[in-house]
Chains A and B, each alone.
Chain A
């Protein structure tokens, strides 16, 4: 047997090597290559028997025991993810809001303190350099969270773009670990966490954040995530991260909380129709092609990087992102061609695909010619030489609101 298609979450196509070593991280064990970056939770993952994968130069858990079990745990109960490889860049100063309005696609000045916003770092030609979550953590302070592979580029671009404003840009990635608790039982588990001030959760809606303390450690608690479920992300010092990781697992273990790896994270975000940089989003992708036109605030006053190119837009026949559900059990994978049912003409390409663990159907995200992007269009996937019929469907494939009746039933079963 040989692995034919290493379409792993870590295989970002355009991943440049990370520019800096993490500070305060765990010492490297003898079995890791000297240039591999390790999370502050690495030793705990080794003890838990994790299988590791390279993700943008980091050794991160691909899975602990079973991808599918970890995926289902997040949909039905909760999962715990180590995302310490992500980049955290702070923009602070009297003109931080104006600086980010110029540097990013969205109107960051419009979000309130304690609010988060999904945004894009655009190139001057309108292509996407990275997708980001931006938290406003103070009147003049923002935390910009970048993909691990793009951290150095994002920090460099922000520094340059913000240089004409009265603010500072600091790459604090080395000093910040990130743990995500995701799943319908996340809030309940967090309320039960010893030493946690549950009052912080009052009014902490989705895409909100709050500064809090846990056992004397500063924590930025955010109700954000990348799984399509309710959940929380904890930004904290690397030396405090192992203790929080263990405490959460201990608190939630009885409710079904398990550590979950990047493989589950990838199938979860795919079901939720969330793009992954390097797959659905690239340097060559215009936001509107990816269905992210709404993320670009063309109505904001003044210039921003990429504005002129976005106003002009991509070519009218530029491919657009769609969801595909195929027949049978074989999934489309990144790079597979999409052809017309009655011919050999290639009209698109798959960017991500898997047999959906939740739905039991082969799902893919793909770029197709706009003439074939309407929901209901029948296309064929070329799965290693075999044609598999697939229909265009609306994204996301899964949303928790549409599954609410099922998950509340699950909860009833648990409590009865």
Chain B
């Protein structure tokens, strides 16, 4: 069974999650004895698409159109679904990013396919793909099988390993899909990126501050630690609800579910809805002055003490280690 892997690009650069999707597709296709086709959609993206061969794509397809420079939910969904049908891909992989989460459901409807969204693991058993997907923000895990003839899977960012390319390249084919005015009934007219801001959903290291920091003005110690670690700043729900930090930093059941390599929770008590969103992190560090705080129940390493003393000390110790 052949797999079509949709690879997201922004500003003419392939996203890291795109490599993850191609690599995951390769692993599954090997077991299903199928081919991996990577698809890149945008304006003038041909030159960046070739390297996907090094991550396991046998074929790389590009659909180029100046109108596709920015995302359009209808146009992008139509392109992925039409290419999947035309190339007889039985499986479509996407990344469960803002873009992938938006278009995967549309693609599933167009292909009359079941969608397994935001998968965190995949395996093949008896020729069938079995996907693990967390529910209730990770308080429970499910294993699901898509039973329709075409199947769509979106993969949680940062969980599947992209690795490095093997040096091989694939030839890039241009594909055409007819697009009408109606296919742009919703279109992105402007993108604003917070400069240099790493999103918690994409970060490999997250430093989260909680209510114990007493006020928004004290988040500088969190920002500094995240800065030296090359990580993102996260926030607990209490902190976001109090208006100290923006919602896009919220980790937990009504924020983002994250699985970084290192999660440092500072002055976060560890409410159930917060733990649900971060306990699948590889390593968890808790810093809290209350030794009975629930966060210590999930932490690999803990320091009981005053965050205002410990965090700056930690920042300078890390600086020393990294020679910064």
A complexed with B: no
